[in-house]
Amino acid sequence: MASKTIHAYYNDDDVLMHAVGKVKAAKHHIEEVYCPFPVHGLDKAMGLAPTRIAITSFLYGCVGLVVSIVMMNYMMIEDWPQDIGGKPSFSYIENMPAFVPIMFELTVFFAAHLMVITFYLRSRLWPFKKAENPDVRSTDDHFIMEIEIHENEIDLKNLLWDTGAVEINILEKDSH
């Protein structure tokens, strides 16, 4: 079954933000907004739920901290203890002040790298993936608001023209 989708094009982010507010106030569901750069506050204007990205970042940092502690304890205390600068190598706690920079660096390393991997997997971005943006102008200078049409094509079109759209296209989408 084919469904109709309307694409409204805007050339200014402030006009887009105002348009999103008007469309949401008219009780229409915005499927997606394609932007050439991040627009501050767009997620809240669209009514998107907050992400849990900060929680995952904290957990990845904790994994990095644990890995650094286990790694340094094994390498510097158990496997091959050395007397470096007169510091005893009897226990990890006695040497921990010297290990703080390594603990910090591995915490940041794990958080950063695992967050990038999580972002790519969550966004379904992998090598050789075909771009999903509907128009190449959305990567340059236009903003595209995508709304599915439910027997309200004329009213929706008029609303979008009133919000400052510079172009409106109606597309047939196949849902297989």
Span 160-174, mean pLDDT?
A: 89
What ranges do the domains of the chain cover? 2-36+141-174, 53-122
| Contacts (Cβ under 8 Å, ≥6 apart) of 48 | none
Measured distance CA(67)–CA(83) in Å, rounded: 23
| DSSP symbol at 174 | E
Average pLDDT over residues 113-130: 90
**What is the average per-residue pLDDT within 123-141?**
87
Average model confidence (pLDDT) for the chain?
A: 89
DSSP run (H or E) holding 20: helix 13-25
The answer to whether the beta carbons of residues 75 and 95 sit under 8 Å apart is no
State what percent of residues in the chain have pLDDT above 70: 95
**With 70 as the cut, is the pLDDT of residue 1 above it?**
no
- 2-36+141-174: CATH architecture: 2-Layer Sandwich (3.30)
Written as six digits, the tokens of 84 are: 């470096």
Q: What is the pTM of this model?
A: 0.71
In terms of DSSP H, where are the helices of 35-152? 42-46, 53-72, 92-122
> How would residue 150 be classed by pLDDT, with cut points 50, 70 and 90?
confident
pLDDT in tens, 37-95: 999 999 999 999 888 889 999 999 999 999 999 999 998 888 887 777 776 677 788 88
DSSP state of 138: G
Average the pLDDT over 111-126 and give the result: 92
Tell me what pLDDT residue 176 has: 54
Cβ-contact 135, 7 below 8 angstroms: yes
**pLDDT computed for residue 96 by the predictor:** 84
pLDDT of residue 67: 97
In this prediction, residues 118-125 reach a mean pLDDT of 89
